[in-house]
Amino acid sequence: MSDPRALIALLEWYDAVGVDAVVLEEAIDRLAAPPPTPVGEAPPRWPEGGEGAPAQGLSPRPDRPVQPAPAVTVTLPDEGAVEAARAEAAAAASLEALREVMLRFEGCNLKKTATQLVFADGNPAARVMLIGEAPGREEDLDGRPFVGRSGKLLDRMLAAIGLDRSSVYIVNVVPWRPPGNRTPSAQETEICRPFLTRQIELVDPAVLVSLGGPAAKALTGSADGILKLRGKWQSYRVGERDVPCLATLHPAYLLRQPLQKRLAWRDFLALKRKLDEIGG
């Protein structure tokens, strides 16, 4: 590939879809026994990571059998897991307590493949709460939502209407990264919903903004696509009051479809007008 810009674009695409490791054209059997040594010759030295090399710390000798990897237990995403999440989330009296509950929670299988919990970022006392779908690779490594390319674009969008991370609170519907950045399943979203609901209750924002279709559907329950939902004010019940809720396009979508930034700009202008109306 002679064009460096095309190579950079390809690498960025790989990163966006979750390709974060390099493999060879042919798989390496790292548990394979070495080939027999001819009489009179010294045993071969395996090159580091070479073809047929045994796994690090393991010996192919028959007197040192390979120990099986420990079994990983998984949780079936059923109503019982959802009820457990609801009960534990409802018992959290603060955001810190809720974070501790989520760190201990074992009812979502995404936790077993993610690096860490991605709880939130920003100011919990802010008037605006932004809700995305799920962490990506950078977020999974950093522990905060929207820190990759999408996050940088989101920061610029907020700055355009006079906001920054000190004046918003950012969370995701699902707080653990799905493998390969895949879309969370309906069951995974449902299991994590009580945690999002409790976060909204504890933050008690003046305005909710859903970033992308999955987040908008999680808040409104609508089956419409984001292009139909965006730009329309709806309400979300928090305690004894209805909170204005606005859906807009996800920054990752805008990176793929830059012409749609004009729609997101209209939505953020509507957000600014709403904040001016509310005051405070």
Query: What SS3 string covers 87-128?
Result: HHHHCCCCHHHHHHHHHHCCCCCHHHHCCCCCCCEECCCCCE
The answer to whether the beta carbons of residues 208 and 200 sit under 8 Å apart is yes
The confidence band for 51, taking pLDDT boundaries of 50, 70 and 90, is very low
Q: Identify the top-confidence range among 9-13, 27-31, 218-222, 272-276.
A: 272-276
Domain architecture of the chain: domains with CATH: 79-278 (3.40.470.10)
Question: Count of alpha carbons within 13 Å of 240, Cβ hemisphere only?
Answer: 0
Tokens of 133: 């779908």
Running DSSP on this structure, what letter comes out for residue 230? T
Task: Give mean pLDDT, residues 42-49.
Answer: 55
Whether the predicted model's global pTM rises above the 0.85 cut: no
Across all residues in the chain, what is the average pLDDT? Answer: 85
The answer to whether the beta carbons of residues 161 and 272 sit under 8 Å apart is yes
User: Across the chain, how many H-helices and E-strands are there?
Assistant: 11, 6
pLDDT value at residue 27: 66
Top pLDDT among 80 and 66 is at: 80
pLDDT value at residue 192: 94
Dihedral sign computed on CA atoms, order 39, 45, 47, 50: positive
Q: Which of 14-28, 73-87, 106-120, 143-157 has the lowest mean pLDDT?
A: 14-28
Q: What percent of the chain has pLDDT over 70?
A: 73
Q: Which of 26-35, 142-151, 153-162, 259-268 has the lowest mean pLDDT?
A: 26-35
The answer to whether the beta carbons of residues 138 and 20 sit under 8 Å apart is no
Report, in this order, helix, strand and coil percent for the chain, each rounded to 5: 40, 10, 50
Residue 77 confidence (pLDDT) above 80: no
pLDDT value at residue 80: 77
Residue 160 confidence (pLDDT) above 60: yes
CA angle 6, 7, 12 (to 5 degrees): 95
pLDDT value at residue 279: 83
Separation between Cα atoms, residue 159 and residue 148, nearest integer Å: 17
Residue 34 confidence (pLDDT) above 70: no
The answer to whether the beta carbons of residues 153 and 260 sit under 8 Å apart is no
